[in-house]
Structure 1
Amino acid sequence: MYNVQKETISLWQIFVLILIFTLGTTVVVGGGAESKQDFWLTELIVMFMGAVFVWFYYFIVSKGKNLYEIIEETCGKMLGKVITFAYVIYFFYICTRNVRDLGEMIKITILKVTPLEVVVITLMFVVLYIIIQGIEVLARVTELFTPFMIICLLLVFFLIILSGEFNADNLQPFLAEGFSPLFKDIFPLRITFPYGELVVFTVVITSVSNLKYVGKVSVVSVLIAGVLIALSQLVQIAAVGEDIKNRTVFPLLSASREIFVLEFFERVDILVVFILMLGIIIKVSVFFYAGLKGLESMFKIPYRTYVIPISMSIPLFSVLNADNIFEHFEEGLEVVPYVLHLPFQFAIPIVLFLLTLLKNRKNKKGIEGENH
């Protein structure tokens, strides 16, 4: 008989996992075509929405059953397997997109003549090794590198300001067109990326040893990440202006290249590469683990069985997803939020939540009827 191997992580580890996952690529990539110079304010508004989302995801699994167990319980075995498989494909697809993000940035910055295939395969070897070791090792790796990532991020902000590249005039005028442009950026793009992606933690949260405090810890983690994301957007806009920012794929990278302090500090763009690299490794690992756990739930075979064959396909599809970086980002910004993110991040979890409430109410009435 198949037995699920119990892996546990601490509250601090789920805190850093959610923090780094949320920061991920968000602090580096651009956005805010509608909000323009007010995009930092957009990020602050959506940060509070993200806190609500992560609390909702926690509430769904707060009884100790993960996403796949809830799907099977509420939808039955046959339909449950179909929905579970859909989530597996979704999680693996997001893996391919994030792997492509890092591959493109590495090619732009430090390995310009290296084939994209080599970069993405190398990245997946790292992810493969971490996930074979298990969620506990992933949590410890995140715990180890979190201080370095936060310090590097704050150091880049500080050096941009110190170098004189920070121009507050680029943040003006404030709310020139009111709040309407902000909400155009919020829905659907900013609610789905990165905060809606936290739906993946409905698979991970149940591994936490002290489950009852996870909701509060998750909310605090999201709020801290949101402040850092908003600060990053503010610094980017002030440093390069909203026009250049919106025409640049990695605006924080462009801003960091302008740093020249005391004729000594320059070319700190390598710190931005490190931030993105670490963020994507953690993010891909979480999505990869969640997808593998879905296969484990479907076929009752330990998820480590699938690690090697699936990890070989991720780089392949990350390259085949788009012909070039512009097509890759266009697909991610205009198609994926509507076709994939909204259904899997919100529609299905809300339906599962309502079905669970309905089932619990029926069970409660049945028990009360028996007592009478």
Structure 2
Amino acid sequence: MESSKITVWQFFVLTLSFLAGTSFFFIPGGLIAVAKQDAWIIPFWAGAAGIAAALIWIRLARQYPGMSIIHICMKVAGKPIGGLLAFLYITYFIQLSVFITRNVGDFMKQTMMPITPLTVFHSMFLVITAYAVIKGIETIARSSELLFIIMALTFVLIFCMALAQWDWNHFQGSFRMNVWESLVETRNIFGFPFLESLVFLMLFPFVQAKVKRSFIWAIIMATALLSLTTFFTIGVLGVTRASHDTYPLFVIAQEVHVGTFFEHLESTIALILLAAIFIKLSIAYYCSVLGLCQLFRISSRFWVTIALILLISGLALGYDNVVENIEFSQRYDFEYTLLYSIFIPCLLLLVSWIRKGWGKRREEPAS
């Protein structure tokens, strides 16, 4: 296992960037289409569920300190069954990398370069990410620190300039949503991004201290920022426009102008999105490579990283278009992620509890 260490602040930045970076672009439109003016409330429910799931992961990690989810699976369930569970987690990490790669391809093709083939975007982005993965988790953490500051300042600048288009009339008819229907229709937000953060079970061993506090605070901050972004999108674009745009934040940047000096900031937003996707893809990609190396006891991750470029790039072409990608996420992402984020960790905790209880009984002297 890699002997590198990351600080609590770096872990916080990685978690927050993973949760909030791409969510700003892909989530608000879908939420607004379902919950209308009340869409900004939904992230709070999802964030609460995310914190509950995080407490399960932290409990599991504390029972087996210094171990990743791959090692925990084999420790609790034994080599045959535990190895199978570990392999399932690796396939999930790879599939998550595929989703992220396809998202960057769809975004670039739909907004910036419609003629360029998707494979070009996938290959170029994966090569850069693979280089970061080969360099290790410390390189990814340091890169995220720099990119996080740039992304935060850019968002604040664009939000401030877009306030000129704010209209409180867009919130007329608030607090009328059907709570249960909204929960069912927006359940995918539980999977993306909050339940996806289970990948950090691979990174807990690298953190020097205070994992729980840093992880929980990152989820809370991501929840607040996602709600604020959705609220801001409604106030600027209105429900009708925001719900019909795939990337409403990109549309806001297109329409921002201050005189004739600041205009057409969509290219800046595109760069910020690429930076956010880079951080998220680097984490998922790194966990995929690290999981394979741990499961099969591979000492060097270089060739594993290179080989995954071809696999991820090929699997990312599994959707015909961006609509099919969004449709899959809305219908199946929550159930698919729930298996890995809740069911298997709870099962591991249950088996661990049973084994410890059985061990204590055997150690008790005969009366």
Using the size of structure 1 for normalisation, the TM-score is: 0.92
The equivalent residue for 2:296 is: 299
Cα-to-partner distance string for 1:45-103 (whole Å, 9 max, x where unaligned): 32232223223222211222211111111211111111111111111111111111111
The equivalent residue for 2:284 is: 287
C-alpha spacing 1:236/1:114, structure 2 compared with 1 (3 Å): same
The equivalent residue for 1:108 is: 110
Cα-to-partner distance string for 1:308-365 (whole Å, 9 max, x where unaligned): 011222112112x101111111112212322x21111211111112222222223333
Cα-to-partner distance string for 1:126-146 (whole Å, 9 max, x where unaligned): 110000001111111111211
Q: Does 1:316 align with 2:314?
A: yes
CA distance in 2: counterparts of 1:56 and 1:171, whole angstroms = 37
CA distance in 2: counterparts of 1:247 and 1:137, whole angstroms = 39
C-alpha spacing 1:286/1:371, structure 2 compared with 1 (3 Å): farther
The runs of 4+ residues in structure 1 deviating greater than 6 Å are none
CA distance in 2: counterparts of 1:166 and 1:371, whole angstroms = 75
Contact 1:57 1:201 in 2 (8 A): no
> Which sits farther off after the overlay, 194-203 or 352-361?
352-361
The equivalent residue for 1:195 is: 194
Contact 1:25 1:280 in 2 (8 A): yes
> Which sits farther off after the overlay, 271-280 or 193-202?
271-280
The equivalent residue for 1:225 is: 222
Contact 1:59 1:215 in 2 (8 A): no
The equivalent residue for 1:55 is: 55
The equivalent residue for 1:205 is: 204
TM-fit CA distance, 1:371: 9.8
The equivalent residue for 1:235 is: 232
The equivalent residue for 2:267 is: 270
> Which sits farther off after the overlay, 309-318 or 197-206?
309-318
TM-fit CA distance, 1:370: 4.7
Cα-to-partner distance string for 1:5-52 (whole Å, 9 max, x where unaligned): 322111111100001000131101132132122111111232232223
Give 1:349's aligned amino acid.
P
1:1-372 pair list within 5 angstroms: 4-29=1-26, 30-32=29-31, 33-62=33-62, 63-161=65-163, 164-187=164-187, 189-210=188-209, 213-302=210-299, 303-319=301-317, 321-338=318-335, 340-367=336-363, 369-370=364-365
Contact 1:205 1:214 in 2 (8 A): yes
> Which sits farther off after the overlay, 243-252 or 96-105?
243-252
Give 2:177's aligned amino acid.
E
Count of residues in Structure 1 that have an aligned counterpart in Structure 2: 361
TM-fit CA distance, 1:172: 2.4
Give 1:359's aligned amino acid.
R
Give 2:312's aligned amino acid.
I
C-alpha spacing 1:363/1:317, structure 2 compared with 1 (3 Å): same
C-alpha spacing 1:133/1:244, structure 2 compared with 1 (3 Å): same
CA distance in 2: counterparts of 1:297 and 1:92, whole angstroms = 15
CA distance in 2: counterparts of 1:37 and 1:363, whole angstroms = 55
Q: Could you list the runs of 5+ residues in structure 1 that have no partner in the other structure?
A: none
Give 1:175's aligned amino acid.
F
Give 1:167's aligned amino acid.
D
CA distance in 1: counterparts of 2:46 and 2:158, whole angstroms = 24
Contact 1:156 1:271 in 2 (8 A): no
Contact 1:28 1:250 in 2 (8 A): yes
> Which sits farther off after the overlay, 191-200 or 28-37?
28-37
CA distance in 1: counterparts of 2:100 and 2:184, whole angstroms = 24
What root-mean-square deviation, in Å, do the aligned CA atoms of Structure 1 and Structure 2 show?
A: 1.8
The alignment partner of 1:113 has SS state of: coil
CA distance in 1: counterparts of 2:272 and 2:17, whole angstroms = 10
Give 1:222's aligned amino acid.
I
Contact 1:38 1:182 in 2 (8 A): no
